[in-house]
Structure 1
Amino acid sequence: MPGEFGYLLVVHHHFEIYDSLRAHLESSGYTMICIPEAQQALSMLRKQPSDLVLIALDLPDMRGSDLLTAIKSDPDLHAIPVMMITEHSNSPHLEECLSLGAYDHIHPSMSPMLQQARIRMCLQYGLMHNPTRVNPEKEVLLIKIEHDLQIGQDIQSDFLPRDLPDFPTWQIADFYKPAREVGGDLYDVFTTMHDQYICLIIGDVCDKGVGAALFMALFRSLFRAAAQQQIPASPDQPPYPGDQESQVLYDTFNLVNNYVIDNHGDKGYFATLFFGILNPSDGSLFYVNGGHVPALIVGDQGIKHRLTPTGPAVGIIPNTTFDIQRIQLDPGDILFTYTDGVTDARNPERRLFGEQRLIEMLHTGVSAADLVTQISTQLALHIGNAEQYDDITMLVVEHMAPGSLTHVMPR
Structure 2
Amino acid sequence: MPTALVVAEPGKPASSAVLELDGALRQEGFEVQRVVPDDLVLRHPHPDLLLISAALGLQRMALVSQRFLVDGRMPTIVAFPDDDLAALEECVRGGFDFVTRPFLPSLLRSRANTCWERSQLSTTVEEMAALASLREYERELRIARDIQAGFLPESMPLLDGWELAASFRPARQVAGDFYDVFTLVNGRKLALVVADVCDKGVGAALFMALIRTLLRHTAEHTGLVQDLGDDTAVALNGTAGDTALPLLSLGAGPLIQAVVGTNRYMARNHLKQAYFATMFFGVLDPWSGDLVYINGGHNPPIVVHADGRQTLLPPTGPAVGILADSSYTLGHVRLGPGDALFAYTDGVVEARNAAHSLYGTARLQEVLAATGPHAQDLLAAVDTAVRGFVGTAEQSDDITTLAVTRNLA
Q: TM-score, normalised by structure 1?
A: 0.64
1:232/1:252 contact within 8 Å kept? no
What code does the residue aligned with 1:366 have? P
Structure 1 383/170 Cα, relative in aligned 2: closer, same or farther at 3 Å? same
In the alignment, does 2:203 pair up with 1:214?
no
In the alignment, does 2:195 pair up with 1:203?
yes
Segments ≥4 residues shifted beyond 6 Å? 231-236
2:339/2:373 contact within 8 Å kept? no
1:328 — aligned with what? Answer: 334
1:233/1:252 contact within 8 Å kept? no
Matched residue SS, 1:135:
helix
2:385 — aligned with what? Answer: 378
CA distance in 2, matches of 1:149, 1:342: 24
308-317 vs 223-232, which moves further: 223-232
Q: How does 1:5-20 map to 2 (within 5 A)?
A: none
Structure 1 244/336 Cα, relative in aligned 2: closer, same or farther at 3 Å? same
CA distance in 2, matches of 1:153, 1:295: 27
Q: How does 1:226-265 map to 2 (within 5 A)?
A: 226-230=218-222, 237-238=229-230, 242-265=248-271
Q: How does 1:1-400 map to 2 (within 5 A)?
A: 47=69, 135-230=127-222, 237-238=229-230, 242-363=248-369, 365-400=372-407
CA deviations on 1:341-395 (whole Å, 9 max, x unpaired) are 0011112222222211111011363311011111111222222222110000100
Structure 1 357/228 Cα, relative in aligned 2: closer, same or farther at 3 Å? same
Structure 1 304/152 Cα, relative in aligned 2: closer, same or farther at 3 Å? same
CA deviations on 1:157-193 (whole Å, 9 max, x unpaired) are 0011111111111001111100011001111000010
2:227/2:253 contact within 8 Å kept? no
CA distance in 2, matches of 1:295, 1:182: 24
RMSD value over aligned CA atoms? Answer: 2.8
Where structure 2 has 5 or more consecutive residues not aligned to the other structure, the ranges are: 1-65, 74-123, 235-244
Question: How far did 1:337 drift?
Answer: 0.4
CA deviations on 1:60-91 (whole Å, 9 max, x unpaired) are xxxxxxxxxxxxxxxxxxxxxxxxxxxxxxxx
CA distance in 2, matches of 1:290, 1:45: 53
Aligned residues with identical type, % of pairs: 41
281-290 vs 239-248, which moves further: 239-248
Number of equivalenced pairs: 281
CA distance in 1, matches of 2:129, 2:226: 54
What code does the residue aligned with 2:144 have? G
CA distance in 1, matches of 2:153, 2:297: 23
Matched residue SS, 1:318:
coil
CA distance in 2, matches of 1:332, 1:182: 35
Q: Which has the larger radius of gyration?
A: 2
